[in-house]
Structure 1
Amino acid sequence: MKRFVILLLTAVLALTMPLSALAAGQIEVTEDISVSDDYDWTRFKGQNVTLNVYNWGEYISNGSDDSVDVVAAFEKLTGIKVNYTTFDSNESLYAKLKSGAANYDVIIPSDYMVAKMISEGMLRPLDYSNIPNFQNIDEEYRNGDYDPENAYTVPYTLCTTGIIYNTKMVDEAPTSWADLWDEKYAGNILMFNNSRDAYAIGAFKSGSSVNPQTTEEVDAVVDELKAQKPLVQAYVMDEIFDKMIGGEAAVGVYYSGDAITMIDDNPDLAWVFPEEGTVLSVDSMAIPATSEHEEAAEMFINFMCEPDVGKANIEYIGYTTPMHCVWEILDEDLKYSEIAYPSEDIAAKEEVFTALSDEVNSELDVKWSEMKSYDEGGSGYLFLMLLAAMLALACFNIWRKVRRKTRNMY
C-alpha cells in the first residue's frame, strides 16, 4: 500500500510539475527537443505573426525519415507561424531579394553572398540581446571576413565541396578536380549549376585563385569550363540527389553534407576531397533589411542555436556544426565522419570565398552565361545565323508590301 501511495504521488507530481522542471533550466517542446527556460519564447502568442523563412533545399530537419520537425516545434513553442520556402543557389536567393518579388524575414546565404548583401545594404543589423544563444557559436567561426564585426549574421553550418562518385560505374576512384576533364567520364559528369562553385573547380584545376581579382583571370578559368562542357551530362543543384542516388551519372560535384545524405541512400556512392584543395563555406542566418518582423526573426535564429535543435538539424542534413556543444551530442557516426570533419591535411588545403569587385563579379556573370549557352559544335552560331536570315526575310517582305502599296497609289 505504501509503495502504491508513493507511485501515485510521483505520478501526480509529474503531471503538475512545470515543464521547466523536467530538466534543469529547460522547457520540453517535443520528445527530442528541450530549450532554455530563461528566454521568453511565448511573447508573440496570439499576435498572428507569420515569419517568411528562405533556406536551401534539404537544409533543415523536417520530420521525414523519423527526424524532428524543427519548424513545427518552433511554431508549437512560440505561436509564430512559419512560411518556409527554399532556394537552390546563392545567386537565385540574391536575385529574388533584389527584385523585391518576395519579402523574407530569415535567410541563409553563404559567406561571399553575405558580404555582397552587406555592401548593398540588403541586411539588417542583429540585436544580439534577442539571440543569447549566439554564445554557443565557437569563437573560430565568429567575425569572419564576410562579416568582420558579426553585426549581421549567425553561422548555421559549414560545408566543403568535393567529388561524389558511383563505385559501380567508375573503375578507378577520381582523386583530382582535373579528372572531371577526363574523356572517359564523357556524358557522366554532373557539374554545379552556379557560377561561383563551378568557377572554383576550374580555378583549382588550372592552379588559379578561387577569388579572381581581374577580368582576365575570369576569362581564363571560364575557358577551362568551356572546354569541359562537351563532357558534362548536366549542370545541377538539388537535382543531383535523384541523379546520383538513381545511378544516372558516374561522378558529380557537390557539398559534403548532401554527400552524406546521398551515400546513406545509396551505399554504392563514395566521396573524395580532390588533391588540389576544396572550398570551405559558412552558411549563416541573417535578416533582410526589408523584414517586417525583426524581433520574431531573431527568436527563430535563437531557437536554431539551441543545442537540441542544432543536433536535430545536423543529424538530418549531415553538415558541419559551428557549435561544439552540438558536436558533443551528435551520433557517433556523424561525430567522427571524415566527410563532415576532414583530416588536418585536407583542412590545410581549404580555401574560402571572398566578395568579388563589381567589375569581376559582372564579368563572371557574363562569361558564365556565355559558357552555358556555348556549343562547341557551332550549332549556337548556326541558330544565330538562321535567326538573322529570318529577320532579314521578314524585313524584305515588309519592304515589298510597302513598295507595292506605294506603287498602287499612283
Structure 2
Amino acid sequence: MKKIIIALSVLLMLTLTACGSKGSEPKEEISVYNWGEYIDPSILKDFEKETGIKVNYSTYASNEDLYIKMTQSQEKYDVVVPSDYMIERLIKEDLVQEINFDNVENFKDVEENLKNPVFDPENKYSVPYFWGTLGIVYNKAQIKDKIDSWDALWNEKYKGQIVMYNSQRDTIGAALKRLGYSLNTTDPKELEAAKKSLIEQKPLVYAYLDDDGRDVVVQGDANLCIMYSGDALNMIMQNPDLDYVVPKEGSNIWYDSMVIPKNATNKEGAEKFINYILKPEVQAKNAEYCVGYTSPVKGVKELLPDEIKNSQVAYPDMDKLPPLEAFKDLGDAVKLYDRTWTEIIASND
C-alpha cells in the first residue's frame, strides 16, 4: 500500500510539473521601439490577434536617444524606426541586419521612388514607415505677404511672431538652404555663415521650441514656425487660418523607416510585423491616426478621408516641389554642428 501511495504521489508530481511546464511556455514576442504617438494602438492589438505574437512596445523622443539605447543599453529590440541619417549611421556601424524580403512580401506595394534611398541604396536594411517634408507653417489671416522663402523667418516685420524649431539639424538646415548651401554641408565657412545668420535672427524670434511650438502657433500666440509636414496638417485641421509651404530655396525630405537591430532576438517575428505594417488597410488606419504623415504604400491615399488625401501638405505633387534633400550621417563632422548649435543657443544677441 505504501508503495502504491508513493507511486501515486510521484505520478501526481510529474503530472503537475508537466502542466506547469505547458502553462509557462513563453509566448512568442517582439520588442518594438518607436517614436512617441506614432502608431494607432489598435494596430498592435490587431497584429497580436492575427499572429499570436505579443508586442512589447516602447517609445523614444529623438534619433539620438534611440542610438544611445542601442549602443549603451542591455535592452534588445526587434524593430526600431529611425530617420534617414540615423539609419545610415547604424548601417555603417554594423548595428542593423539585412531583412529577408521573402518574409516581407508587401514591400512590393511600396512606392518605387521610396525604394533604394540614399541612406540604404541597395534597400537591404530598411522599409519605409512614413515620409514627409520640412517647411513653414504660417497664419495667412495675419500675414498677407506671400510666404514662399526661408527669408520670411528673417523678416523684421514679423518680430516676435517667429517660432524656431529647437532642433539642431532642422534649424541649421533651414539657415543653410536660405544661403544656398546643402543641408549636409561639412564646410566650416558655410556653417559659420549659417550660425551668424541665426544669431542675427534671434531678436526676431518668439522662442526656440520643441513640439509645443505647434500649440503656440495654433493658438495664435505666434504666426510662423518651422514644422514637419505631418504636424503641419494636424495644425491646419485645428486652425484653418494656417497654411504650409516648402520654401523655394529647397528643404528636407525625411524618411522614418523600420529596421531590425543586429542583436534582435526574434528576426522572423520582426519581419512579420514589418510586413503587417505595410498592409494598405493598416497603413490607412495609421495614416489617419498620425494625421498628415505620408504613407509609403501605393493606393493608401485613396483610402483616407478627403481632408487628408486631398491635402497638398500630406500628399503633394512632387513635380511641383522645390529641390529636396534627405539628411545624411555627418560622421565626425557632427562635432562641428554640435559646436555651431551650442554657440547659437548660447548667444544673447
**What's the TM-score once normalised by structure 1's chain length?**
0.73
Aligned equivalent of 1:325: 299
Q: CA deviation at 1:122?
A: 1.8
- Measure, in 2, the Cα distance between the counterparts of 1:324 and 1:187: 42
Q: CA deviation at 1:220?
A: 2.3
RMSD: 2.2
- Measure, in 2, the Cα distance between the counterparts of 1:231 and 1:56: 31
- Measure, in 1, the Cα distance between the counterparts of 2:75 and 2:162: 34
Query: Cα–Cα, structure 1 residues 344 and 82, in superposed 2: closer, same or farther, change >3 Å?
Result: closer
Quick check: 2:97–2:262 contact (8 Å CA) kept in 1?
A: yes
Letter in 2 for 1:87: Y
* Correspondences of 1:3-402 after superposition (within 5 Å): 47-62=26-41, 69-100=42-73, 102-317=75-290, 318-356=292-330, 358-376=331-349
Deviations 1:29-83 (A, max 9, x none): xxxxxxxxxxxxxxxxx74344332222332224xxxxxx212222222233333
Letter in 1 for 2:271: E
Q: CA deviation at 1:315?
A: 2.2
Quick check: 1:215–1:360 contact (8 Å CA) kept in 2?
A: no
Aligned equivalent of 2:9: none
Query: Cα–Cα, structure 1 residues 235 and 290, in superposed 2: closer, same or farther, change >3 Å?
Result: farther
Unaligned runs of 5+ in 1: 1-45, 63-68, 377-410
Letter in 2 for 1:338: Q
Quick check: 1:206–1:221 contact (8 Å CA) kept in 2?
A: yes
**What's the TM-score once normalised by structure 2's chain length?**
0.85
Higher relative contact order (CA 8 A, sep 6+): 2
Quick check: 2:183–2:325 contact (8 Å CA) kept in 1?
A: yes
Query: Cα–Cα, structure 1 residues 48 and 341, in superposed 2: closer, same or farther, change >3 Å?
Result: same
Q: CA deviation at 1:161?
A: 0.8
- Measure, in 1, the Cα distance between the counterparts of 2:200 and 2:256: 31
Q: CA deviation at 1:209?
A: 1.2
1:325 match: secondary structure = coil
- Measure, in 2, the Cα distance between the counterparts of 1:363 and 1:232: 24
Quick check: 2:176–2:191 contact (8 Å CA) kept in 1?
A: no
Unaligned runs of 5+ in 2: 1-24
- Measure, in 2, the Cα distance between the counterparts of 1:199 and 1:102: 33
Quick check: 1:334–1:340 contact (8 Å CA) kept in 2?
A: yes
Quick check: 1:52–1:106 contact (8 Å CA) kept in 2?
A: yes
Rg larger in 1 or in 2? 1
Q: CA deviation at 1:204?
A: 1.3
- Measure, in 1, the Cα distance between the counterparts of 2:336 and 2:39: 34
Aligned equivalent of 1:32: none
- Measure, in 1, the Cα distance between the counterparts of 2:130 and 2:246: 19
- Measure, in 2, the Cα distance between the counterparts of 1:223 and 1:120: 33
- Measure, in 2, the Cα distance between the counterparts of 1:306 and 1:91: 29
Letter in 2 for 1:330: L
